[in-house]
Structure 1
Amino acid sequence: MDWLSYSTPLLEGAWVTVKLTAYSTVLGGLLSFAFGIGKLSRNIGLRALSIAFIEVFRGTSLLVQLFWLYFALPILGEAVGLDLRLHPVVAGTLALSLNIGAYGAEVVRGAIQAVPHSQLEAARALDFTERQTLWRISLPQAVPEMMPSFGNLAVQNLKDTALVSLISLSDLAFRAEQIRNFTQDSTTIYTLLLLMYFGMALVLTALMKLLERSTGRWRAGRS
């Protein structure tokens, strides 16, 4: 086999990686906003829950989280009479989403807290509620500031998808390892693997730059 014959299985694996990255980045982004805003809440229960989520998923290994969801959770389910087995795609997406959500939550929190205090005082003077201040003042200014960090997290998330090959999900890394075991052509396989991940990272970076410009225009339109 030569490198051309490797293209079909590798591209199939790359498509799984792309979908996994898209699913987990979007879900992780939603979790980032939910728990980042929750950490700033005056509600003690909501704030405590948000802090616990952030600290647990930032303070533990993504690989351990993945294995716990895929291998340990079903055993726990059996103990309580529930079927908690997860499809590899679901387990992989969930683990990646929870991980990126915890890191992203701190990005959201920091960006919101960086909004000038004078803006918040002006909102109070206009008798805005906390919710109105968040949606009309804080977020329009904070979101563009978050985007470079979210871009880095998205690229990191793409690279972290390689871990799902350890639960037999046929992503790019899994397919590459299958071919390598069959052909023993490590140099060609791993070179192609590097180039494909690099290419996907470039595309993802370009998409995040476009999103960053869009949010910048959105802020300009709101100001």
Structure 2
Amino acid sequence: MMTSKFFFEWFLPGIWITIQVLVYSAVLAGVVSFVIGTLRTSRFWIVRFLAGTYFEIFRGMSALIMMFWMAFVVPLMLGWQFVPMFSGVLALGLTYGAYGSEIVRGALAAVPPAQREAGIALSFTRMQRLRRIELPQAWPEMVPPFNNLLIELMKGTALVSVITVADMTFAGNLVRLSKNESMPIYTLLLVLYFVLAFILTRGMRMLERKAKAGVGRAPEGRTILTRKLSPKGELDQARAGTAGAGGAG
């Protein structure tokens, strides 16, 4: 039977490794997302072509195979070997960064052309327009899809266990082999990944509200399950429904 000793000696260090892999991969993916995403909006076709080539290549690759390639093929090619965690972080960051670049490109493309024209009229350079006009308006639109991408990246960190990185999935498999118990181990892993995903989602929701407030947009209201109308509000809705029915008649 798995005890608290196994949790603190195996799972707790594994959770810390998972968080490290997630943070490093997310930082790398974020840098790649913004660099490749903005380059794909360049007015120079060669820049758009090179950035688009990166996007197509890494979007079509498996992160797991990329880890194997960096862990086992690169040493044969270069004569030196990456640390396993570095191989995992590099593979995840480059792969998910390609996905994120499409989010950045789409959000920048959604900025009204009049805003860009205003920047040109003010003699702003391309970098000034990005920093002062386009990115501040596009950022609130990026946060929700980046939230989904971050959750997928968090779940993708489990792949590093196959290249002997001692994350919580790797620790769970070791405990399962030593204790010969599958149900409690994998159930605990499901719960741990859910808790991490829930924490990330709450954090990204707060960031989304802050980003919208920064551009003068009101945050979205609560859902029907959490919003409670006052008696006056219920009366106003009933009157509006009655008036609508009378007008339809």
* Distance in 2 (alpha carbons) for counterparts of 1:116 and 1:38: 19
Tell me the amino acid that sits aligned with residue 97 of structure 2. Answer: G
* Distance in 2 (alpha carbons) for counterparts of 1:200 and 1:210: 16
SS at match of 1:40: coil
The match for 1:104 is: 100
CA contact (8 A) 1:69 1:86 kept: yes
Report 1:25-104 matches (<5 A).
25-78=26-79, 83=80, 85-104=81-100
* Distance in 2 (alpha carbons) for counterparts of 1:55 and 1:19: 28
CA contact (8 A) 1:32 1:101 kept: yes
1:20 aligns with 2:16: no
Tell me the amino acid that sits aligned with residue 42 of structure 1. Answer: R
Deviates more, 1:42-51 or 1:54-63: 42-51
1:220 aligns with 2:216: yes
Structure with more contact order per residue of length (Cα contacts < 8 Å, sep ≥ 6): 1
SS at match of 2:215: helix
CA contact (8 A) 2:36 2:101 kept: yes
* Distance in 2 (alpha carbons) for counterparts of 1:161 and 1:93: 8
Deviation, 1:4, is: 2.6
CA contact (8 A) 1:13 1:172 kept: yes
Deviation, 1:87, is: 0.3
Gaps of 5+ in 2: 218-249
Structure with the larger helix share: 1
CA contact (8 A) 2:61 2:95 kept: no
Deviation, 1:3, is: 4.2
* Distance in 2 (alpha carbons) for counterparts of 1:198 and 1:3: 21
Deviation, 1:204, is: 1.1
The match for 2:7 is: 7
Tell me the amino acid that sits aligned with residue 72 of structure 2. Answer: F
What CA deviation, in whole Å up to 9, does each residue of 1:128-184 have, x standing for no partner? 222222111110100110000111111100000000000000001000000111111
Deviation, 1:26, is: 1.4
CA contact (8 A) 1:144 1:216 kept: yes
Deviation, 1:122, is: 2.2
Deviation, 1:40, is: 1.1
The match for 1:192 is: 188
Larger Rg: 2
Gaps of 5+ in 1: none
The match for 2:206 is: 210
* Distance in 2 (alpha carbons) for counterparts of 1:31 and 1:38: 10
Cα RMSD of the aligned pairs, angstroms, is 1.5
Candidates 133, 136, 140, aligned match of 1:137: 133
SS at match of 1:159: helix
Task: State TM-score, norm by structure 2.
Answer: 0.83
SS at match of 1:178: helix
Deviates more, 1:121-130 or 1:28-37: 121-130
Deviation, 1:53, is: 1.2
